Structures are given as structure tokens and as C-alpha cells.
Homo-oligomer: A and B are copies of this chain.
Amino acid sequence: MVQTDRILMGPGPSNPYPEVFEALTRPVLGHLDPEFLALLDETNERLRAAFRTSNPLTFPVSGTGSAGMEAAFVNFVEPGDPVVVGVNGVFGERMCDVAARAGAKVIRVEAPWGRPVDPQALIDAHPSPKIIAVVHAETSTGVRNDLACLHTGKEGTLLLVDCVTSLGGIPVETDAWCVDIAYSGTQKCLGVPPGLAPLTVSPRALEQIKARPGSWYLDLNMIARYVMGEGGRAYHHTAPISMIYALHAGLGVLLDEGLESCWERHRACGEALQAGLEDLGFELFAEKGHRLPQLTSVYVPTERLPAGMDEAAARRALLERYGIEVGGGLGPVAGKVWRIGCMGHTARPRNVMLLLAALEELFSS
């Protein structure tokens, strides 16, 4: 089959680090092999460093980011539980759907697409919710929702956060922000192919875990007996060995660079991209002050495209002529906005430079 080497500047996946491909070719080990268990332990230790947490239960869920979201809700929501969800994009909507299927009484706190959710509105939405849930980096809009001020001090209320597009790209301070449950994905700022969902759960949250959630596959009680392994590792399901090698290697690159340095690289690339887009006369979509450096949303000036070329055709031209993938808009901004990712190994000045040059050529031809 034809398979081109793309520069992945969409909303994810990003280009993996070279070290990650090397890891994927390593011999497969059994999921109970002492060598594999040592590697899994080290992977989880690296995840703790990335999440800035000391939570013992920190590991990659065996599915993509949305499996992390589902694990985060189904293990804690009892039927009828009030769950407050911040909604300002696709992934906040998805949280509502997942929580409702788990039986939650969902209380939506909305903000317009492109703008952040008001933290105080989340806190005020219910006197004693089981969960307050919010997406840190809304991949559908490029908006950062503030987390630092969300700790309510309400006894029994858990703070649940989607860090799929934030982890590794901007500060995520799980312990300092009193986040109880956070999940991510491998294919964004971690520079690893899609397939795993890093998850971390606070001891406080574990006190409230359901004894028998609706999902067997995502049952954290059972998975913890394999992952944490006190008194022997109990088999639950076969771990996705090669993808865990890949995550282990990607986190190695991240921590060798240094977490702060990696945030700084994402910040510098995002700022250069956003400044460059404005220099080209493009209008940014996300509200100033809450723009993600790793995911930029921008209105597409279709009137400047060659005659007969629409937004979708322009993305195809970027893909076919320059080998660059960017993402289209979703929901209310479909056909109007592009989402340009600069995450993981893709977050390099040369990629920003190339994309800006390609856009200049494409939109003035």
C-alpha cells in the first residue's frame, strides 16, 4: 500500500519521536515476564513525573484517550449521582454522554465554542456534586480551561480532568491542583502513536471507587491488582506490550528533555505559529489569554483561495502538495476553522516555518 511520510499538524496524532519507533521493534515479552513488569513499573513512574503526582495508581489504560475518559467515569459514578461538566467543545460534550451512560445526573456548565468555561460557574453549579469534570485542553477549539482554581474543598466531590491534549505540552499539576482523576492520550504532546490512555487516580478518589462498575474491561479494582502488584501481579487482561514499550520510550524522551523544557518548546512553537498566522492576515479563533500553544484554531480565509478551491480542497492540497496534515473544524465551526497541532516531536520550529510558507503560497496563488 502507498504510505506517505506526513508532517502531522492536525489535532493528533502527532509525529512520534524516533526513539518510539525503535521501541516498537523490540522483542515482545509476556505480560507476566519479570522484565516486562519492570518496564511497566518504570513507565508508570515516568507517568507520575509527567502528571506531577505521587498517586500510586497511575498507568496506561489499554485503549485510546476516550477509553481513559470512560474509565474515569464508570468507576466512580453511581446511578443518580450529580456530575457537573464544563462544556465548550466536543470533548466536554463527550464527557456528558459518557457520564450519562454511567447513570449520572449531568449538570452542564456551558461556554461558547472558542471561549473558556468559567471556573466559578463550575463550583457554583451544584452544592455537593459527586464529580466536577472539565477538559483541560479542548482539542476541538484550541482553548485552555483553567484548573488551578477548581479545588472546591467540598468533601466527597472529585475533580476529574481530561488532559488528552495538555499532558506534556502545558503545565499539568495533578497534585498541586488537587485533581483526583486525570487521563490523557499518547498521540498528542507525548509524541507516541495513538493506542493508550495514561490515567492517574488519587488515593482520595480510590476511597470512593465502585466495587463493581458496569465495565469489566475498565474495572480499576481488578486492573490495580495487576498494575500495582502488591503480593503478586494478578492477570486481568493481556497488556498491550509493544505500545507500552512505545510509551516508555516517549516518556523517556520527554523526561530527558525535561518537562519544563518540553512545555517551553511547545510554547515557543505555538507562539511563532500564531504570530505567523496573524502576519499572514489569518484570524485566530480561540479567545486571547486561553489559547493553547500546542493546538491553534484559526478561521480559514477561503476568499483568498484559488477559484474553485474550498476549505476541504485546501486541506487536501496541503496534504498532497506539501505532505502536511492539518485538521478541519468540528460541530458549529466545521468548514470555517482549521485546527493546527504542534505537539510532541512535531513541535519544532522548522515545521512551523514550513507550514507558514505553504500557507502563504496556497492562499495567494
Contact = CB atoms under 8 A, between A and B. Distances in A.
Given A193-B242, A216-B94, A27 B5 contact: yes
Contact of A319 (B10, B33, B62): B33
A102 B35 CA distance: 36
A280 interface: no
A6 B31 contact: no
Interface stretch (A18-26, A126-134, A155-163, A286-294): A18-26
Contacts of A237: 64-67
Q: Which of A29, A31, A241, A242 has the most CB of B within 10 A?
A: A242
Contact of A102 (B13, B15, B102, B214): B214
B194 A31 contact: yes
A39 interface: yes
A17 to B, nearest CB: 11
A317 interface: no
Nearest to A5: B27
A353 B192 CA distance: 39
B212 A101 contact: yes
Given A64-B62, A66-B216, A325-B33, A246 B242 contact: yes
Contacts of A26: 3
A168 B340 CA distance: 42
A63 interface: yes
A365 B85 CA distance: 65
* A interface, size bucket: 35 or more
B6 A195 contact: no
- Summarize A's interface: helix, strand, loop or mixed: loop
Contacts of A193: 28, 240-243
A314 interface: no
A5 B36 CA distance: 12
Interface string A131-149: 0000000000000000000
Nearest to A239: B194
Nearest to A36: B3
A42 interface: yes
Contact of A3 (B5, B29, B195): B29
A214 B101 contact: yes
A185 interface: yes
A179 B39 CA distance: 39
A364 interface: no
A216 B70 contact: yes
A30 B187 CA distance: 10
B33 A6 contact: yes
Given A63-B217, A215-B101, A238-B187, A24 B21 contact: yes
Contacts of A268: none
10 nearest CB pairs, A to B: A195-B240, A193-B242, A24-B24, A66-B237, A5-B27, A194-B238, A70-B217, A63-B63, A98-B216, A21-B25
Given A3-B29, A62-B195, A66-B217, 5 more contacts: A2-B38, A6-B27, A16-B28, A64-B239, A243-B243
